[in-house]
Amino acid sequence: MIADPAGRGTLGRVIISALARFGDREMISDGTQSLSYRDLGDRIGKAITALRELGLKRGDGIAMLTANRAEPWAILCAANLMGVRYTPMHPLAAEDDHVHIVADSLANILIVDPGKFAERAQAIRDRAPSLGAIVAMGPCDAFDDLSARIDAAAPAPLTDEAESEDIAWLVYTGGTTGRSKGVMLSHRSIVAMNQNITAEWEWPALPRYAMVTPISHAGGINLYPIMHQGGYARLLQGWDTSIFCATVEREKLNATFLVPTLINTLIDAADIRARHDLSSLEIIIYGAAPMSPDRLREGISIFGPVFLQLYGQSECPQTMTTLRKADHDLSKPERLGSCGLAAPMMDIRLLDAQLNEVASGEPGEICARGPLVMSGYWQQPEMTEQAFAGGWLHTGDVGVRDADGYITIVDRTKDMIISGGFNIYPREVEDALMSHPAIALAAVIGVPDAKWGEAVTAFVTLRAGASVDATTLQQLVKDKRGGPWAPKSVEFVAELPLTGLGKLDRKTLRAPYWEGRSRAVS
């Protein structure tokens, strides 16, 4: 293995170090299976043997479609040590998206949770002939049982076979063309994220982390710093306010990551909160969606000064900036709308169209350099070149920096909608709507919504003599893209505003809803 002269490290080093240091401490539980650090190390070693038996080697790829279970974390750690890239698949995405991701990522093996995704896996197999194999984490008539293979395997030695610039995670994010694109996150990138999170976030002395968001996304990638600190992760199967509160109380959980939609739900569930002792919560991390400063104040009045905001994107994960607990200062209300200060390891600048840094108080595109940034877009050299124009990662977000260095996001150069923590691109929804024979043209925007942050709202024009109702269109989008993409409302209009170049003018559509408000995101 080639030495890493820059000392940037790999996830294998993070994992092996944690396993050696924390031994018999409880590491992860999904309510059915519980693993100590020692148990996890044994499971990782067995998984390495099983994956090698399936032919996997450094540079290959796996994709996983699973619920929040302990087993996938052991398999992912095994892949990290082997130098095998991992592609997460969102459990709520539509079949077309899953097929595209499996095919585009060149995954050698798809690993699925048979209890939830056996039928979807069969559909993927039929439509993605390049896929090498599908295996299940448990008994399944259609696929080989990987869990049984792991149970029977002899554990391999835990040796780090990866290098710093190897792709660790290949994460798919929405694209304005309607096809998601793969973001290449190297070991270097995620190790930098781990170091930022561990050092910058105000964790309890020993984190006990409630994870309700999918293990495939932000909830899962946060498990590295939990392991780094010798903490414990309790995986929950989605959001249920009563179950969340009961689990926090029973297991004395002291940390969690929630999108603002879930925080709002928790704030509003006064009757449920009253039945449970939630005083163990020392940090509530939030991000991925807009959060109203008024709601933040309400949350602080209930839970105390426990809120911490992250700002990042798939291309620069989790820690471009942080608004720490100490920054949620009610005596400085303007700070509550900010996304905080740049991480120490990152160079974050606000640039104009000529790549000149703008003055304090002036809007500019948020651009980044540093060890956190992606390696580029998978098999998309032209898009990679555009994203790194001038040597900076261009986020597509417009922000303003105050005299103290705090950044507030005021708009997006892209039209992405963030609804309930999901990144939704208008073109994805528009294409689905326009697949209906009655629709002549469709435009989709996000409008302010107290529950979702932004609600997906569609405007459509009908073909002459055609008719269709809103419910049919909402179901169409749900079937084609997935539930979060379905418009919360559909407006039928005679015509849609267009720019001088004949493009949909979403800015004009948004104006009545956002007038006098900043479209700030976390």
pLDDT tens-digit readout, 140-150: 999 999 999 99
Residue-level pLDDT at 499: 60
Does residue 108 lie within any of the structural domains? yes
Is residue 77 within 8 A of residue 58, CB to CB? The reply is no
Do the beta carbons of residue 258 and residue 286 sit within 8 Å? yes
Q: What is the DSSP letter of 493?
A: -
Under the banding of pLDDT at 50, 70 and 90, the label for residue 397 is confident
Whether the per-residue pLDDT at 520 is higher than 80: the answer is no
pLDDT of residue 421: 80
d(CA 197, CA 399): 22
Residues 140 and 265 reside in one and the same domain = no
Highest mean pLDDT pick, 47-51, 217-221, 450-454: 47-51
In Å, how far are 19, 74, 236, 285, 420 from 67, measured between CA atoms?
Answer: 24, 14, 9, 21, 19
> Is the Cβ–Cβ distance between 104 and 128 less than 8 Å?
no
Asked, for residue 463, whether it belongs to a domain, the answer is yes
Residue 1 inside a domain? The answer is no
Residue 92 or residue 170, greater confidence: 170
- Which residue segment(s) compose the domain that 482 sits in? 425-514
Query: Does a structural domain hold residue 520?
Result: no
| Burial of 173 (C-beta count, 10 Å sphere; 0-12/13-18/19+) | middle
Q: With contact defined as beta carbons under 8 Å apart, do 304 and 281 qualify? A: no
CB 368 within 8 A of CB 346: yes
Q: Which of 129-133, 159-163, 419-423 tops mean pLDDT?
A: 159-163
Are residues 502 and 389 located together in one domain of the fold?
A: no
**385 inside domain:** yes
CA distance 219 to 235: 9
Sign of the CA dihedral 486, 492, 494, 496? Answer: negative
Cβ-in-10-Å burial (0-12, 13-18, 19+) of 250 comes to exposed
Residue 467 structure tokens: 């008719």
Are 332 and 469 part of one and the same domain? no
Return the pLDDT at 175. Answer: 46
> According to the model, what pLDDT value does residue 271 have?
95
CATH number at residue 467: 3.30.300.30
Q: Please report the pLDDT score of residue 513 as a whole number.
A: 87
Neighbours of 39 (CB within 10 A): 19
Which of residues 412, 439, 456 is at a domain's end? Answer: 412
∠512-513-514 over CA atoms, to 5°? 100
Say yes or no: 407 and 432 in one domain.
no
Gap between the Cα atoms of 282 and 279, Å rounded = 8
CB 122 within 8 A of CB 142: yes
Nearest to 81 by CA among 55, 109, 114, 47: 47
Helices 95-104, 470-481: axis angle to 10 degrees equals 30
Residues 392, 293, single domain; the answer is yes
Nearest residue to 426 (alpha-carbon basis) of 453, 447, 395, 449:
447
CA-closest candidate to residue 420, choices 263, 209, 211: 263
Per the structure, how many domains does the chain have?
Answer: 3
Q: Residue 414: its pLDDT value, please?
A: 67
Mean pLDDT of 286-295: 75
Residues 390 and 485 in one domain: no
Q: Are 408 and 522 in contact (CB under 8 A)?
A: no
Note the pLDDT of residue 425.
74
Whether 282 and 343 map to the same domain: the answer is yes
Q: Which residue, among 343, 357, 417, has the nearest Cα to 392 in the 3D structure?
A: 357
Nearest alpha-carbon partner for 292 in 415, 485, 450: 450
Identify the pLDDT of residue 176.
38
Q: Is residue 231 part of a domain?
A: no
More confident residue, 97 or 92: 97
Under DSSP, the state recorded for 498 is B
On whether both 378 and 495 belong to a single domain, the answer is: no
- The predicted pLDDT at position 345 comes to 87
3-state secondary structure of 452: coil
Which residue type, as a one-letter code, is found at position 139?
P
Q: Are residues 105 and 171 in the same domain?
A: yes
Q: How far is CA 73 from CA 112, 193, 217, 249, 347, in A?
A: 13, 18, 12, 25, 31
Residue 411, pLDDT score: 62
- The answer on 346 and 302 residing in a single domain is yes
Sequence-ordered strand ranges (E) for 287-404: 307-313, 316-323, 341-342, 347-351, 364-369, 376-377, 393-401
Lowest mean pLDDT among 63-77, 244-258, 378-392, 433-447: 433-447
271: how many CB neighbours lie within 10 A of its CB? 9
Residue 358 and residue 405 in one domain = yes
In a shared domain, residues 317 and 388: yes
Distance spanning both ends of the chain, measured CA to CA = 40
| Model confidence at 348: pLDDT above 60 | yes
In the three-class reduction of DSSP (H, G, I as helix; E, B as strand; rest coil), residue 23 is classed as: coil
Burial (Cβ within 10 Å: 0-12, 13-18, ≥19) of residue 385: exposed
CATH assignment of the domain containing 393: 3.40.50.12780
Mean of per-residue pLDDT scores for the chain:
90
Binning pLDDT at 50, 70 and 90, where does residue 6 land?
Answer: very low
**Closest Cα partner for 72 from 58, 56, 60, 89?**
89
Closest CA to 425 of 408, 442, 409, 444: 444
Point out the domain boundary residue: 378, 412, 446.
412
Is 264 a residue whose pLDDT tops 90? Answer: no
Instruction: Summarize the confidence of residues 416-441 as an average pLDDT.
Output: 83
What pLDDT, in 10s, does the model give residues 324-334? 999 999 999 88
Whether 428 has a pLDDT exceeding 90, the answer reads no
Asked if pLDDT for residue 178 goes beyond 80, the answer is no
Residue 83 sits in a domain of what CATH number? 3.40.50.980
Higher pLDDT, 25 or 265: 25
Among residues of the chain, what percentage have pLDDT more than 70?
Answer: 93
| pLDDT band with cut points at 50, 70 and 90 for residue 389 | very high
Of 363, 389, 412, the last residue of a domain is 412
Q: What is the mean pLDDT of residues 431-453?
A: 88
Evaluate whether residue 420 is within a structural domain.
no
Strands ordered across the beta sheet of 341-342: 34-36, 26-29, 232-235, 208-211, 255-258, 283-286, 307-313, 316-323, 341-342
Q: Is the pLDDT of residue 516 over 80?
A: no
Measured CA to CA, the distance from residue 123 to residue 100 in angstroms comes to 12
Report yes or no on 393 lying in a domain: yes
CA 313, distance to chain mean position in Å, is 8
pLDDT of residue 214: 83
- Indicate the burial class of 503 (C-beta count within 10 angstroms; 0-12, 13-18, 19 or more): exposed
Helix (H, G, I), strand (E, B) or coil at 191: helix
